[in-house]
Structures are given as C-alpha cells and as structure tokens.
C-alpha cells in the first residue's frame, strides 16, 4: 500500500491558504484535508463539519485533556486543534493528509512527526497582507489588528520550514506548492 504522509501548510492569516487549498484539492482529490476544531465563532457561510468543527471552550479543553488532539494552539484569542483519530486513520490507509495550521501547531507537529513536510506561505508584502485581510471583509477591526501583529512573528519563522512559497500570483503559487509536494528534490526527505 502507498505510504501515508503528513503535510503542514502554515502562513499568516489572510495570506491565501484557504484559497490555495481549494484549488489544490480540486486538482488533487486524492489528498485529505484535516478538519480542525475551534472555539472561534463561524464566519458567515462557514459550515460546521466542513470548514471547522465549532465547539465551546470546555468541549475543546476536554478534547485536549483526553489526548484527542494531535496538536493545538491558541491563536488571536481562540483555540484551534487537529483531531487525532481521522488523521491517524487516513495516514494508516496510505493517504496524504494536509494540516492547515498556525506556527505553534506546526512546531508541535515537527517535534512529534519529524518526517512531516512543512510548507510556509508568504505574502508578497505586509501591506498586501493587510489589504487581503480587509478585502476578505469577514474579521472585525480588532481581529485584523491582532492577526497582523501575529503575522510578523510568523513570517520571522519562515526559515524553520522545508519550503516557502510566496503567494503573489495565485496560479504560480499553486504550481510551487505542487512542486514542493509532488516533485521531491534530490536529498530532500
């Protein structure tokens, strides 16, 4: 059976991770996207079980305490985590599982699963990142300010990742992600 694989995709909020992943999954339906649990409230149009599992803080804390999360972190005032069981099941079945998670979670995965491939998505500039966060029009001013402050620290950690992809032009960025995933370079693991 084909070997399962863990792929981590990280990058500041608003950089375009969700947009890139939608295209990636349309082109590669064999990939499996892990659905996270979060204590954040749903944005307009977000569906429970599709975008996230939206849970209360006590529910989240119970999952974390019982070891049901592969990794978890607090981000901009809310908790986010990866449910352990579906990821382990999919890897066992030989599938490639993509985790779209922030920096602290990516570090936990690196520590516990050193073979995981980690890709960091960079914005062309901080000004463009702010523009994208605002143009999405789904976060409050306070949330945007918090996300931009966190973005600076996240971008400073780009060197920890196996690949960095600048999301300037969407199609080009998608191609670069595909190269990172499907065309292993000599010497890479």
Residue 165: which residues within 8 A CB-CB, separation 6 or more? 119, 120, 121, 122, 173, 176, 177, 180
Burial of 4 (0-12, 13-18, 19+ CB in 10 A): middle
Is 50 near ligand ADP (CB under 6 A)?
no
The entry of ligand 5GP, ligand ADP, none that residue 105 binds, CB within 5 to 8 Å by partner kind: ligand 5GP
Q: Could you say which residues in the range 119-158 bind ligand ADP, by CB under 6 A? A: 132, 135-136
Could you say which of 4, 5, 19, 53 contacts ligand ADP (CB under 6 A)? 19
Angle between helices 126-136 and 141-155 (to 10 degrees): 150
Residue with smaller CB distance to ligand ADP, 83 or 124: 124
Residue with smaller CB distance to ligand ADP, 68 or 130: 130
Q: Look at residue 171 and give its three-state secondary structure.
A: helix
Chain centroid to Cα 139, Å, comes to 18
Stretch that binds ligand 5GP, among 67-75, 85-93, 114-122, 180-188 (CB under 6 A): 67-75
Is 81 near ligand 5GP (CB under 6 A)?
yes
Is 118 near ligand 5GP (CB under 6 A)?
no
d(CA 88, CA 58): 24
Could you say which of 7, 8, 9, 16 contacts ligand ADP (CB under 6 A)? 16
The dihedral built from the CA positions of residue 142, 145, 149 and 150, taken in this order, carries a sign that is positive
Instruction: Give the residues across from 96 on adjacent strands.
Output: 5
Q: What are phi and psi of 65, to 5 degrees?
A: -65, -35
Binding residues for ligand ADP (CB under 6 A): 11, 13-19, 132, 135-136, 167, 170
Where along the sequence are the contacts to ligand 5GP (CB under 6 A)?
13, 36, 40, 71-73, 75, 80-82, 100-102, 104-105
């Amino acid at each position: 059976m084909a070997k399962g694989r863990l792929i981590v995709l990280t990058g500041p909020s608003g950089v375009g991770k969700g947009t890139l992943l939608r295209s990636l999954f349309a082109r590669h339906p064999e990939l499996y996207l892990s659905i996270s649990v979060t204590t954040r409230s749903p944005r307009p149009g977000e569906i429970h079980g599709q975008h996230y599992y939206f849970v209360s803080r006590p529910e989240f804390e119970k999952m974390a305490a019982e070891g049901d999360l592969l990794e978890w972190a607090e981000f901009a005032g809310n908790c986010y985590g990866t449910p352990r069981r579906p990821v382990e099941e999919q890897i066992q079945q030989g599938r490639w599982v993509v985790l779209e998670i922030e920096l602290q979670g990516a570090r936990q995965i690196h520590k516990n699963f050193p073979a995981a491939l980690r890709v960091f998505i960079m914005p062309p500039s901080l000004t463009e990142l702010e523009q994208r966060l605002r143009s999405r029009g789904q976060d409050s001013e306070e949330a945007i300010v918090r996300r931009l402050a966190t973005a600076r620290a996240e971008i400073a950690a780009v060197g920890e990742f196996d690949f960095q992809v600048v999301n300037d032009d969407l199609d080009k960025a998608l191609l670069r992600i595909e190269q990172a995933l499907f065309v292993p370079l000599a010497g890479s693991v």
